Structure 1
Amino acid sequence: MRILIADDHRLIVEGVKLKLAELDSDVEFSVAMDVDELRQVIRDEPAPAIALIDLTMPGSDGHAHLIETMASLPGVPVLVLSGAEDSRLMRELLSLGVQGFIPKAYSPEVMLSAVRLVLSGGVYVPPMMLLEGSAAPDVSAASHAETTASLEERLRKLLTERQIDVLRLLSQGKPNKVIARDLGISEGTVKIHLAAIFRALNVRNRVEAVVASRRISGL
């Protein structure tokens, strides 16, 4: 399997290669450090199974290099790498046809999971975008209420009722021992629920889970 990585930061490229090497023992990489190199790689090397492309690499003009890559590699999923965490930007890029958006601040494990999801035919949507929804700033109160209800419904599809109970108490700043006491379960069971919550929300720790939960009304 060949993976195309286009980014001008050598440390990021090497970090991505190191983590994605876990996908397969025979994985190979094509690397481009700017848009001209990206065009050359697309022209001269075998088509990759997936492409991870920096949003603002040298030679880029807005999103043109992404659109050009998707046109040149039909059928190859494109994942955007970016230092930005702007949900409006994410929506814009997903509407253009990219298969996912990975903020560079996310952990290598999240990136690996995102790539696996996309390779299996899915689309990776960052948790912050999933939880914020797509309402514009000037939506009416009624529309906002509908959006909030929709987000809560989405969250309930990701988590069980008990996991939502744990998440609610976690968002109140309660430690595992208190959560266990309040819910009448063991601390070990709380830890199991937390691990499932982290996986479902694609977050790395308690703090990120709390941030995510507080974007949902009622939690």
Structure 2
Amino acid sequence: MIRVLIVARSLIMQAGLEALMTREPTIQVVGRTAELSTLEQSLRTQQPDVVLLEFALLMDTDLELLTTVHDEAAIALLVTPNESYSAATLLQSGIRAIIPMDVTTDEMIVTVEAIATGLVVLHPEVAEALLKGLAEPDEPEVASDAPLTPREIEVLQLLATGLGNKAIARQLNISEHTVKFHISSIFSKLNATSRTEAVTLGMRQGLIFI
């Protein structure tokens, strides 16, 4: 039996996802919540194998949860076409699946079953975008439309002072792994390949000052 925890903003969405999951006898929905603040407690008490997580719930501080949650359960992230995200960064943070909200029931169930066994699942739309980005390294670099979060700007500002990952982690009271996650996201959003380039681009865009 695959135990599933649903994390979505609205009760209607939670109920809809639960209805999809309960069509499969090998899947059991063990909980529903709209609050990421209670996610770690839910992981302890309900012990899910899979977390269905609505991407829109993720904010700056909540992104840090991804670095710890994936050790407890496989995460399937539900996205909409108008949301801006870096698939590569999310996969590096431990996400096991990235799928659109409008997938079919069969696709949703297969995804849950697959990531519960340790596999990584990318919907064709997500995979196509990811592979296109990897296949075109010589294209002119253009900054992403996705803005840096307040925490990412803090990290970038500390990068500009020359601090290493451990020092940044101590300064912001977060884990070193989380710092690496933020730096990877900064690189992706700014299309930077080094710390120096990221800092330079950040200064040009008025994100940081030194």
TM tier, smaller: 0.5 to 0.7
Question: Structure 2: which 5+ runs fail to align?
Answer: 140-210
Larger radius of gyration: 1
CA distance in 2, matches of 1:109, 1:59: 29
Partner residue in 1 for 2:161: none
Name 2:145's counterpart in structure 1: none
- Larger RCO, structure (CA 8 Å, separation 6 or more): 2
1-structure distance, mates of 2:56, 2:36: 10
* CA positional deviation for 1:33: 0.9
Question: Equivalences for 1:15-54 in 2 at 5 Å?
Answer: 15-24=16-25, 27-43=28-44, 45-54=45-54
- 1:80 and 1:33, CA in 2 relative to 1: closer, same or farther beyond 3 A? same
Work out which of the residue numbers 77, 85, 99 in structure 2 matches 1:102.
Answer: 99
- The alignment of Structure 1 onto Structure 2 pairs a total of residues equal to 137
Distance change (3 Å), C-alpha of 1:48 and 1:131: same
In structure 2, give the amino acid aligned to 1:135: G
Tell me the secondary structure at the aligned position of residue 39 of structure 1.
Answer: helix
Question: Could you tell me which amino acid in structure 1 is paired with residue 133 of structure 2?
Answer: A
Do 2:99 and 2:126's aligned partners in 1 also have CA atoms closer than 8 Å?
A: no
Superposition deviation, residue 48 in structure 1: 0.9
Q: 1:3 to 1:97 in 2, by over 3 A?
A: same
Residue 23 of structure 1 aligns to a residue whose secondary structure is coil
Answer 1 or 2: which has greater helix percent: 1
Aligned residue number for residue 126 of structure 1: 123
Q: Structure 1 unaligned runs (5+)?
A: 142-219
Q: Does 1:116 align with 2:82?
A: no
TM-score, with length taken from structure 1:
0.53
Deviations 1:151-173 (A, max 9, x none): xxxxxxxxxxxxxxxxxxxxxxx
Could you say if the C-alpha distance between residues 56 and 125 of structure 1 is closer, same or farther in structure 2, counting changes exceeding 3 Å? same
Partner in structure 2 of residue 65 of structure 1: 65
**Can you list the C-alpha shifts for 1:128-168, whole angstroms capped at 9, x where unaligned?**
23334143696337xxxxxxxxxxxxxxxxxxxxxxxxxxx
CA contact (8 A) 2:4 2:51 kept: yes
Structure 1 segments of 4+ aligned residues over 6 angstroms from their partners: none
Using the aligned pairs only, state the percent identity.
Answer: 17
- Root-mean-square deviation (Å): 2.8
